[in-house]
Structure 1
């Protein structure tokens, strides 16, 4: 196969008759590499030099065919111009890889040209290998000549380094916990990619206790390691931003606004300059604050209270929410334009009940954290550990507080462990405590749900009926029609009936408590 070399004319190095080494002519004097054709690119201002170099090559290597290509560049340091013209040259060339091997000479041309050559060959727009040449050393008879192969598949060790680094970043986001849940691991891999390469907002959704705050801190640490931020992370609990101080807390306040000494505030947005602003529970943020916050995120500018001058700040945003922001937006409780800005990268963290295969790994993590906090070694007796893991992984265990409940439970066991050993009886008592707390919380939630609809009349309902009515109300609110709710509630008994009028049965049940479908569905 023929060897074809493509390269720029060396407007400085190829010039002059007394030079010891000229990169372009020297290509043709290597016994181990025959140049059958040289495609030489040059500007019209160097037309004379190009023909001179062509004659020199014909004298050194008569078998080498030299083809001159005029390529005028208004600015050889303009990346867009150089890349565009080289790209057009490559598209029009007509490469024949069955008969010819192509090489690009990197030594000549500007640094911009060298970068463009690399990009075009790496992307296979030019199916070539790279040649780097250099002057001979003091004891060398011929100039230096190296071929660079861009086939990265040959460099397994390099690829393994990249893979190992990616795994380390993933482990950092998982807090060093060896999680097994496929959904969660895929989510972490994607967050690692986004956090490492994008400055756009990241929205973390999920139930209370799924780990949004901890993950936000780890994302910030990853961005800090990757040098995507320099400042600190400012944690804003939006649920506490209520009342007259909310705006001042977020956006700052000038003393002239109140006329009182000591009321000057920089504001949390200014404190996050150069870093990350973590807007925790953003679904609790007020409407006015949402509007000004959107402007600040998009422009980096806002007015502190009492100021006639805008201030500027640049920060990256991580937002967390326990409720579905799309539903809140549809209800008019959350600005749709702010949601669109935050929803560039959205991730929903799975609940603990959906990650039961990660219970044991999280148990080991919590034990280690408790040991570091208490300064003493703590462990389970074998039967106690088995009992706790069975309970924690049982599908009937609801974990309504998710990892927050789980962490508190392990911490209680570690604190109460005599001589650092958690016994079976301690686990049994802890399970009773959890179940009792969950039942009480569920009853409180049921009572609140029914009370919102019936008001004081809820006091006249028996506890048995209260639990049943709460279940009916929840089902109605999650169903598109009265019939659909009836089919769900009477799923077993309806199979034994010759006529299945689920809507009528449900309507009569609701009427016992003075309730109508329209009120529930609204």
Structure 2
């Protein structure tokens, strides 16, 4: 059964104008021309028009019936108070599409987008793209000649919005996404599937919204570098016009924090000799990256919340509000949920910045990615030092075996890896890292970690326990056991499995056993405190 062809389009009050002169049939009129195409047999034209243009719509319909008697014209009177008001036009056309009796089994539809205001054309495009109008787009155009009028029927073009039919376009979009994801990973061919999926989601969110983004994870996991690449990706896509303004909130306190973030007026406090706009104002039109946002005081948090929600804030010592429209990227290595429970962080602010939260795993959780990151760090060293350094096969294998060992904690995460590569490359003889440099570096890292060089916040065992246990449960645990349990939880959170965590925790005592079962041993230890592995993992 051959389907009928139906064209849906808007009346053009200027282009479709019907002249009283006899030569009007020599003029190109897009709605009439749509029904004059020799290879486009239109069975029905649904002509949409504003109620004030009923007379013109009738004359156009009469002309179509005279040049294309096989075409039935159906007139649809619409109410459009302002053809340039997007909300009004979209609502009107959406209502038409919703109520239209589409029959896709018996009819094919073309949506004519040559006529109407630019707003109307955009709305028809959007409704077709979303399949509210289940058809393809039809464009008509004149075919003028240099020395005289062209064919009044002009030309036409059909555009199907199903991109799957356009392999080259689809490949181009896919390539663009791959390039964006590679950019966010600094070009590193990462192998960890969970991390790659995380970057894919971040790329999508980065290009689709200006809502706040919260990056969590241990110190050294790469939050700052990722925030910079998110900004640059948005800049490359022309999604922001302003600058990236970044500040580590752990470095500012009290009045200094207020002044640094929100600015101050001259004379607001001792030493305020001039006006200061503040970092929020500097980020107007761009991106504000607040690293370690959990270190802000409650007063600064309240001011920041208003700035995010209302785009307004009060500089210190000012009676007038200042405006700034920025996107916020926040970073933290703290458990902000636990901080809310402890009264250290505002619950309403967390709710506002927690819309898009991405947890960056530490290096110990991404051991599959150590190999490509090793190449990345060697390339970074070559760029900064101006000389290329490589590793021979044996030394590379030894370093990677050490790096992948579950007992290797990588407390400083990628900062530890960067420092290790920098030291080995600096000491390399003849531009080649050998076994001697690798063994020396392994010993140095083990000594550093054994000496207890921990990251900020590592000793805050109370915060770790508060993320999983109620206050009364913590009170029932001896202080000695609290410290031990907090360390066990930290190891569990950075391990991929219960067995991996057990191997790290019991790496010495397990050697004395003929049949070690680290997982069962760890499971029994956690059960003493009513904790389960799954519970710890879900609250990372």
The TM tier, using the shorter chain, reads 0.7 to 0.9
State whether structure 2 residue 302 is matched by structure 1 residue 291: yes
CA-to-partner distance for each residue in 1:333-389, whole Å, 9 max, x for gaps? 111112112211111111111101101110000000111111111111221111111
Partner of 1:198 in structure 2? 209
The 5 Å alignment of 1:106-125 reads 106-125=113-132
Say if 1:308 and 1:2 are closer, same or farther in 2 by CA, change over 3 A.
Answer: closer
Contact 1:220-1:233 within 8 A present in 2 as well: yes
Change (3 A) 1:287 1:154: same
Residue 472 to residue 256, structure 1, CA distance change in 2 (3 Å): closer
Q: Which residue of 248, 259, 262 corresponds with 1:251? A: 262
Deviations 1:199-225 (A, max 9, x none): 121111111111111111111211222
1:8 aligned residue = 10
- Within 2, Cα distance between the matches of 1:269 and 1:122? 38
Deviations 1:14-40 (A, max 9, x none): 311432223333333333222222222
* Aligned match for 1:435, one of 421, 437, 446: 446
Matching of residue 99 in structure 1 with residue 106 in structure 2: yes
SS in 2 for 1:76: coil
Is 2:420 the partner of 1:409? yes
State whether residues 325 and 339 of structure 1, in contact with CA within 8 Å, keep that contact through their aligned partners in structure 2.
Answer: yes
Residue 305 in 1 paired to residue 312 in 2?
no
Question: What residue is the counterpart of 1:54 in the other structure?
Answer: 61
> Which secondary structure does the structure 2 equivalent of 1:137 belong to?
strand
TM-score of the aligned structures, taking structure 1 as reference length: 0.82
Aligned residue in 1 for 2:474: none
Indicate how the Cα distance of structure 1 residues 123 and 302 shifts in structure 2: closer, same or farther if over 3 A, else same: closer
Contact 2:388 2:431 in 1 (8 A): yes
Whether contact under 8 Å (1:133, 1:145) holds in the other structure is yes
Partner of residue 279, structure 2: 268
User: Match of 2:39, SS?
Assistant: coil
Q: 1:55 to 1:300 in 2, by over 3 A?
A: closer
Residue 262 of structure 1: CA displacement?
Answer: 4.1
Secondary structure of the equivalent of 2:190? coil
Find the partner of 1:45 among 37, 44, 52: 52
| Greater radius of gyration (CA) | 1
| 1:377 lines up with 2:379 in the alignment | no
Match of 1:183 among 163, 186, 194: 194
Contact 2:420–2:441 (8 Å) recurs in 1: yes
Alignment of 1:99-498 (within 5 A): 99-138=106-145, 140-141=150-151, 142-258=153-269, 260=271, 262=273, 264-441=275-452, 473-475=483-485
**Contact 2:57–2:75 at 8 Å: present in 1 too?**
yes
Q: Once the two structures are superposed, what CA deviation does each residue of 1:136-167 show, in whole Å capped at 9, x if it has no partner?
A: 32285452222222222111111111111111
In 1, Cα distance between equivalents of 2:8 and 2:251: 66
Flag the 1:95–1:418 CA change in 2: closer, same or farther, 3 A.
Answer: same
SS at match of 1:42: strand
Aligned pair in 2 of structure 1 residues 4, 200: CA closer, same or farther (>3 Å)? closer
Q: Cα distance 1:415–1:115, how it changes in 2: closer, same or farther (>3 A)?
A: same
Cα deviation 1:380-434 (Å, max 9, x = unaligned): 1221111111111112211111111111011000111122111101111111111
Name the CA distance, whole Å, in 1 between partners of 2:453 and 2:142: 81
Query: How many residue pairs were aligned?
Result: 472
1:87 aligns with 2:94: yes
The answer to whether the 8 A contact 2:265-2:272 is kept is no
Distance 2:389 2:111 in 1: 64
Query: Could you tell me how far apart the structure 1 residues matched to 2:299 and 2:94 are?
Result: 51
Look up the SS of the partner of 1:346 in the other structure.
strand
Please state whether the residue corresponding to 2:267 is helix, strand or coil: helix
2:255 and 2:130 mapped to 1: Cα distance?
57
Are the counterparts in 2 of residues 208 and 322 from structure 1 also a CA contact under 8 Å? yes
1:492-507 paired onto structure 2 within 5 Å: none
**Shift in alpha-carbon separation, 1:111–1:276, aligned structure 2, 3 A:** closer
| Change in CA separation of 1:72 and 1:313 when aligned onto 2, cut-off 3 Å | closer
Distance 1:148 1:362 in 2: 45
Cα distance change on mapping 1:273 and 1:476 into 2, 3 Å: closer
8 Å contact 2:219–2:455 — kept in the other structure? no
Q: Which residue in the other structure is 2:502 paired with?
A: none
Whether the 8 Å CA contact 1:449–1:470 is kept in 2: the answer is no
Q: Indicate the residue corresponding to 2:471 in structure 1.
A: none
TM-score, L = length of structure 2: 0.80
Change (3 A) 1:288 1:77: closer
Change (3 A) 1:61 1:185: same
Q: What is the RMSD computed on CA atoms of the aligned residues?
A: 3.2
Question: 2:481 and 2:74 mapped to 1: Cα distance?
Answer: 84
Per-residue Cα deviation, 1:102-153 (whole angstroms, up to 9, x for no partner)? 2222223222222222222222222222222223322854522222222221
Separation in 2, partners of 1:285, 1:449: 17
